[in-house]
Amino acid sequence: MKVKPSHIALVIIVMLACLFGVERLWAAQPPRTIADAFLDEELTYAIGFWVFDDVAVGKVTLKRANDNDYVATLEAYTTGVVDWVLRNRRDTYTVHMRMSADGARFISKTFEKSIEMGGKTRRGLTVFDYEKRLMTWRSWGGGKDERSGVEKLPPNIHIDDPITAFYNFRYGVYGPPLEGREYNIYSFPKGDETPHIYLRVATRPELEARRGTNLSADYLAFARIDKDLFGSQSGDIEVLFTSEMLPNEAVARDILFFGDVRGRLVKLGVGMDFRKTAR
């Protein structure tokens, strides 16, 4: 991915880590498709860093645009003194996805970004063309030069943007959370390389050492995202999950200027037909 957000993307990183889920209502019968699991879900997060809590707010929603076009929107904005320092920063990520024919996963269609700060807006758009096996990208605005490019999509593997990937992870597309298990989720191609989102489920001793007073956590996942994508020195994320693979705490490590950044869920809204599962 050629479009690189600046430091406010720490908010996005933590929200992506939290995006796996949270304790909520669920039916006795599992959903028939991934869309049944998450449609009309709305999650609101409080973000903190340094010695400060609640210095930014983020919201994640999933809606249906038409029969097989699902729109996930991630919005983040700063508050209080931090809002003044970062010049009224607001980031919006909008992802269009389609559901696979068997309903077992989401597939990335477009990944769009809008960053507003100080009265200027920088935009980016990435489009996946699976018939031609090409990924096209473009970024413009914000007082900077326009940039664009085309990358080849490797054959025989799925390419997931980060938001699509985390919905898929929540649904169990990449497999169950076995202790010590590793996952490689392929993401935006760069030239001859296909970077991936890396996940590892911690051992029990690692979990016990990390969870502290979070006694509802039964799993700890270590994640690594392309560090250039979100302005991180390492791209490392830690997520604590309940026994149902629902995270209730997340930390993004080594964010430029901000250090470690924390995220916690503060509000949950779901549609009337909401269902969830961990396959």
Give tens-digit pLDDT for 35-78. Answer: 998 899 888 888 888 878 888 888 889 999 998 999 999 888 88
- Is 175 a domain residue? yes
- Is 278 a domain residue? no
Average pLDDT over residues 6-11: 47
Task: State the number of CA atoms in the 13 A half-sphere of 21 facing the CB.
Answer: 26
Number of domain units in the chain: 1
Report pLDDT for 40. Answer: 92
- Best mean pLDDT range from 17-26, 63-72, 219-228, 248-257: 63-72
Average pLDDT over residues 195-218: 89
- Is 3 a domain residue? no
Residue with tokens 């016990």, as numbered in its chain: 208
- Is 2 a domain residue? no
The whole-angstrom separation of Cα 81 and Cα 86 is: 9
Domain carrying residue 21: 9-269
- Is 54 a domain residue? yes
- Is 62 a domain residue? yes
- Is 276 a domain residue? no
Average pLDDT over residues 106-121: 92
Please enumerate, as own/partner, the contacts of 246-250 that have beta carbons within 8 Å and a separation of 24 or more: 246/20, 246/21, 246/22, 246/23, 246/24, 246/276, 246/278, 247/17, 247/18, 247/20, 247/21, 247/22, 247/221, 248/22, 248/23, 248/214, 248/216, 248/217, 249/214, 249/217, 250/14, 250/17, 250/18
pTM of the model: 0.82
Instruction: Evaluate if residue 276 carries a pLDDT over 80.
Output: no
- Is 26 a domain residue? yes
